[in-house]
Amino acid sequence: MPYKIILSEGAESQLKRLDRHSAIRIVRKLRLISGNPQRSLHRLEGREELKLRIGDYRLLIMMLHKENTLLVVAIGHRRDIYKKN
């Protein structure tokens, strides 16, 4: 059963600020990994979030196993995403 994908308010506004091509690419990738997210997500050292790489963008994601949900906490460019979150 695929994981449900939820965007936090911050992640949703960050996604809306991206150019259309990048936003579509991110949404497609999220749908693609929802079936088996463990293969694509990587643990961040010293943090609870997992990261997903999509080109120059990174997504910080919390995997909620009991709810079978992926909560996207933040979306940003690779040079900035780890500084502000």
DSSP calls for 15-36: HHHS-HHHHHHHHHHHHHHTT-
Q: Tell me which amino acid residue 4 is.
A: K
Q: Which CATH architecture has domain 4-84?
A: 2-Layer Sandwich (3.30)
Does the structure show a pLDDT above 80 at 85?
Answer: no
pLDDT (mean) for 3-19: 96
Nearest alpha carbon to residue 60 among 15, 1, 4, 3: 15
Strand, helix or coil for residue 64: strand
What are 6's strand-pairing partners?
71
Enter the pTM of the model: 0.90
Residue 46: predicted pLDDT? 86
